[in-house]
Structure 1
Amino acid sequence: MKKNKIINYICSGIACLLAATSCDVEPTFYSQVVPETFYTSQDAVWERFNRPFTHWRWYVGHNEPRWMLQELGTDEFCLPTRGSDWYNGAMYQKFHHHDYTEDMAFVETGWTNFAMGVALSWDALEDLENIDFDALGFEEGTKESMLNQQKALVASFYLDGLDLFGGVPLYETTQSDVKGRSTDQETFDFVENLLNEAIPNLPVKEELGAMENGSLHRATGAALLARLYFNAKPYIGKEMYTEAAAICQDIIDGKYGKYALDTDWTNIFGFDNETCPEIIWSVPSENAKLETDGMYWSYMVPYNYKNYLGGLEGSGSNNGIGLIPSLDPTGKKYPYKLGGAYSKFNDKDIRKQPYVYEGSGKYRGMFIVGELINPLNPEWVCTGSREYNGQPLVVRDQVAYFAKVGSADYPTLESLLSTIATAEESSCVRVTKRSPRPNQDEKTRKFDPDVPIIRLAEIYYMLAECKMRSGDKEGAARLINTVRQRYFENGNDPDPVTVANLDKYRMLDEWLQEFLGEGRRRTDLVRWDAYVTENWWDHQATNNTNLNRFPIHYSLIGANNLLEQNPGY
């Protein structure tokens, strides 16, 4: 334990305590600060264990760069320039067109956030290794569980680094000298070895529906390993679908703990989802405590959407991100195989409704679309703030300057442009999936939903794709339809997956519908060689495979001259 670091912890802890109470706090001074003198209670040890998870929680469930790197620039989401809003030096337009440069802030933060997680996890592990758990009365196996959860957490951070950037510097201790980048294969092997070492020593979820609190269970480690193998082809040029399938089947069979698909999709993302049997790993959140909204609420919803929720306090928004449009300005559907997420949902899909909070933690619908007048409380209206100031806002599955129709520049609908640079405040359907909001009458329920990070449906879909790639389309369809049926009344799916209709694009559509907005779309497109080779809306394929990975920010190379830039930048 480094002395300066521990003094900082002590000082920050005293400051928090003084802020919360009026009691006098007399600090205890030590001539030498080491684990034996500082970690003298179980609470102190748990606090040390949880510090890297605090960073992880912020990184995957609250901070925007990781989500934006995975969702903007794909066929799911865009952040269009809305009149005078959201130009931001054309950064979001560049993302949409894959015009990535080494000076983009999100690219820098995407690297520093996973790297900081690695450092915090190793730092915690080094401290925990030197604590006498028996003397503090911990249950047998607690130390092994804590240490291996840190190793698996490191693996999860490095898996992100590999996915976004390719090979990265690999550290096993905080005491190492600064390193350059390892190869893709070395990074892959490092993650694989960490997970194989940790998984047998992680705690098992023995009770179906037991409360999730962000800890790493054995099924979480196994799911991370399955993800690694599932995407091995773009990572290291080697297919490992057989290995991924075996792990997925074991998870479904309960080898790694007890999980089950939920029959009600709102339970997965809803206000009491910490006991949802489908969730394998989630970011905990609770009103007035560890609050998170899954990042995208403030970016996603219209400016005055809080009024649709009865004036819900603390629900301001920036009216930015929306779905790639399905329709051109005249209402004609775009011909591209990718994009237009809203139109991909069958009209009988119960998710394809405007979001309405019904009370007592119940809600329906997943989209912000159409005229924003609350059907349960018609006096609750989301009005416009820009082109439609004071009028009920009508959110469209289109992008264009509709408010300017009839002007000299845009005399007719046919004359409207539809590009990432020509949006207005009503443009693009929005998604309210992670962290659904209550109304003002139940404002204390805000932030109660946890943010799912890994859930059993992903295991079903990974196994389905593996079966599809091996030639077993029937088995793949059966797995996907097992999940799909919960979205239709009495399980009557009007458009199930079949052997006849299951191809690359149907598989990508299924991933899109099930995991819309969950921060993974880029990875799925890259695995199917579709990220840089396909067109959607006004995004044109570059066919530049170098863009499957992001550049290394110039400031990182300036700080560590051992780092090498990715090819093509």
Structure 2
Amino acid sequence: MVVSLSSCTKDLDITPQDDQDLLGEDFFTKETAYKELLAGVYANLSLTGVDGEGSSNIEGLDAGTSQFGRVLLYLQTLSADQMIWSYENDPGTREIQRNIWNADDPIIYGMFGRTHVTIAFANNFLRETTEEKLAARNVSEATKTEIVKFRAEARLLRAMSYYYMMDLFGQANFTTENDAINAQPLAYNRQQLFDFVEAELTAIEADLSEPMNVEHGRASKGVAWMILAKMYLNAEVYIGQPKYTEALDNCKKIIAGGYILADNYLHNFMADNNTNSAVNEIIFPIISDGQITKNYGPTTIMINGSVGSTEDNGVALGVGADGWGGALRLRKQFVQLFDASIYNNDTRNTIISEGRDIEITDISNQDQGYLLEKYSNATSTGGFGVDQTLVDTDFPLFRLADVYLMYAEAHLRGGTGANPADLTSYINALRTRANNPQNNLTISDIDLDFIIDERARELHWEAHRRQDLIRFGRFTGGSYNWAWKGNGTNGIALPAHLNLYPIPAASLASNPSLTQNVGY
């Protein structure tokens, strides 16, 4: 991982360490080099640099505002109705959670930059694994066969990066391995990105591993289907065309792929979610652990941040009694989704309310607002992660429960091919797993209002909420307000242009092909 994190210095302003910049022909004398190089593409999802969790290998980007999972969480969750971050002197957080961001926000720049680094690393891997280069290096036939799969994985990670750029920004610097390293990138719009991701994931499907048949943390066909399902579910937002039948088709592929729900909802969010029953549910994780892939990523942030200002609940969470002293709290509107008595013993309800006011009138007051204990650095067997700050808990970027809910929503939105009996079975399975007594719902009980609320109850703090609210027409405008939306204590309407983030000013300056999004 270290080698390839400093590899692609000509594509972006990545700062190499001379003693670690080892990529030359000597590197490829061992055939294990190709898997090591691929590991670096994956590593960019977890790590920010080659010199520990506080380092950054991108010029001008801090490790705290450029770890992929963390900035994704900020842009998809902190910007919406579930989470509040207490320490608004942390760069960019105030603007994101109050919906007053601009093109100079470091978190927005961090997402734009970090995602393009994954694209650059994937392109670099593909350039180093052409048939010509493999032949010139006398690579064995066995390794060549492996590299076919490796190349498909690199293309998937690149496609996933373009998918997130399409969702968040509606634009991206577009390059592939066929572009000269120093060439000025094209700027692709949403339609072009949609078409590329769709074609790319379709093209590589046959070369990817079967679901449930990969090393932990590597991508299989299931990940390709998941990206396609989510892209098709949001196609009306992205390209103005409904593709709900296509979303259903990909959901059905995932469900048939052998994934099953974890025995316990909370296993998905524990320090051993790479070995407990969650391994059967998590389709793709962002790796985190306290020894090797140490990072200040989303699970480290959420677990330390879930320790209250006075509760000293960090011991149970595996990060020490004080944690970060009330860094994260819940907005009222999310809490109210669990108000009904049927949620009292629902295992998805990990809200701590005792002695606390539901209202947050002063964001800097850590004593206001309820807490959440969804994520922990504890294991399902009673132990804890190896480090008391940098946690062992992988971030479940994609998991089966989301697929069940997408299946239902795509059907309700007009997609064809769903079996109503399967639909209710999937929703009731989530309710049964959560110990919710209302687990015998019929098709008449399940409508789109139910889906958007159930997605919040099932998938909160998993970096989906902004996307969901936009798809339901509730993110901008004033039909649905939440605490501090638009910088108002009780929430105010947002202008429609905030459905996209601005292109960072620094990125506009470096590529004149990019254009600023409307409204910024």
Q: Shorter chain as normaliser: what TM range?
A: 0.7 to 0.9
Q: Is residue 72 of structure 2 the alignment partner of residue 66 of structure 1?
A: yes
Measure, in 1, the Cα distance between the counterparts of 2:37 and 2:9. 16
For residues 23-66 of structure 1, what are the alpha-carbon distances to aligned partners after superposition, in whole Å with 9 as ceiling and x for unaligned?
A: xxxxxxxxxx854x421223322211111111023479765222
Residue 39 of structure 1 is matched in structure 2 by 28
Q: Is residue 149 of structure 2 the alignment partner of residue 145 of structure 1?
A: yes
Moved more, 527-536 or 446-455: 446-455
Higher Cα Rg: structure 1 or 2?
1
Q: Is residue 247 of structure 2 the alignment partner of residue 244 of structure 1?
A: yes
Residue 323 of structure 1 is matched in structure 2 by 330
Gaps of 5+ in 2: 49-65, 486-490
For residues 372-428 of structure 1, what are the alpha-carbon distances to aligned partners after superposition, in whole Å with 9 as ceiling and x for unaligned?
A: xxxxxxxxxxxxxxxxxxxxxx4x25135xxxxxxxxxxxxxxxxxx3x45522222
Measure, in 2, the Cα distance between the counterparts of 1:514 and 1:71. 14
1:73–1:449 Cα change, 3 Å: closer
1:442–1:195 Cα change, 3 Å: closer
Moved more, 156-165 or 294-303: 294-303
Task: Check conservation: 1:325, 1:399, Cα contact below 8 A.
Answer: yes
Q: What residue identity is the alignment partner of 1:477?
A: T
Q: What residue identity is the alignment partner of 1:40?
A: T
Moved more, 134-143 or 450-459: 134-143
Residue 125 of structure 2 is matched in structure 1 by 124
Gaps of 5+ in 1: 15-32, 327-337, 353-365, 371-393, 401-418
TM-score normalised by structure 1 residue count: 0.74
Residue 296 of structure 1 is matched in structure 2 by 302
Moved more, 536-545 or 71-80: 536-545
Q: What residue identity is the alignment partner of 2:348?
A: R
Name the SS of the counterpart of 1:519 in structure 2.
coil
Measure, in 2, the Cα distance between the counterparts of 1:504 and 1:554. 38
Task: Check conservation: 2:45, 2:69, Cα contact below 8 A.
Answer: no
Residue 480 of structure 1 is matched in structure 2 by 427
Residue 406 of structure 2 is matched in structure 1 by 462
**2:502 maps to which of 551, 559, 566:** 551
Residue 524 of structure 1 is matched in structure 2 by 468
Q: Is residue 456 of structure 2 the alignment partner of residue 512 of structure 1?
A: yes
Q: What residue identity is the alignment partner of 2:112?
A: W
Measure, in 2, the Cα distance between the counterparts of 1:515 and 1:509. 10
**2:366 maps to which of 425, 432, 444:** 425
Task: Check conservation: 1:302, 1:318, Cα contact below 8 A.
Answer: yes
- Give the aligned length: 469
Task: Check conservation: 1:323, 1:342, Cα contact below 8 A.
Answer: no
Instruction: Give the Å deviation of 1:189.
Output: 0.5
Task: Check conservation: 1:75, 1:340, Cα contact below 8 A.
Answer: no
Instruction: Give the Å deviation of 1:452.
Output: 1.6
For residues 467-507 of structure 1, what are the alpha-carbon distances to aligned partners after superposition, in whole Å with 9 as ceiling and x for unaligned?
A: 1222877654332112221111xxx6236544444333221
Task: Check conservation: 1:49, 1:128, Cα contact below 8 A.
Answer: no
Measure, in 1, the Cα distance between the counterparts of 2:507 and 2:228. 28
Measure, in 2, the Cα distance between the counterparts of 1:58 and 1:199. 27
Instruction: Give the Å deviation of 1:172.
Output: 1.0
Q: Is residue 207 of structure 2 the alignment partner of residue 201 of structure 1?
A: yes
Task: Check conservation: 1:435, 1:450, Cα contact below 8 A.
Answer: no
Q: What residue identity is the alignment partner of 1:259?
A: Y
1:248–1:317 Cα change, 3 Å: same
Within 5 Å, give how 1:89-488 maps onto structure 2.
92-129=93-130, 130-132=133-135, 135-136=139-140, 138=142, 141-173=145-177, 175=180, 177-205=183-211, 212-254=215-257, 258-275=258-275, 276-292=279-295, 294=299, 295-302=301-308, 308-309=314-315, 312=319, 316-317=323-324, 319-326=326-333, 340-343=336-339, 346-352=343-349, 366-370=350-354, 394=355, 396=356, 398-400=358-360, 419=361, 421=362, 424-437=365-378, 442=384, 444=386, 447-470=391-414, 476-488=423-435
Instruction: Give the Å deviation of 1:465.
Output: 0.6
Name the SS of the counterpart of 2:20 in structure 1.
helix
Instruction: Give the Å deviation of 1:71.
Output: 0.6
Name the SS of the counterpart of 1:169 in structure 2.
strand
Measure, in 2, the Cα distance between the counterparts of 1:170 and 1:146. 21
Residue 18 of structure 1 is matched in structure 2 by none
Q: What residue identity is the alignment partner of 2:365?
A: E
1:308–1:153 Cα change, 3 Å: closer
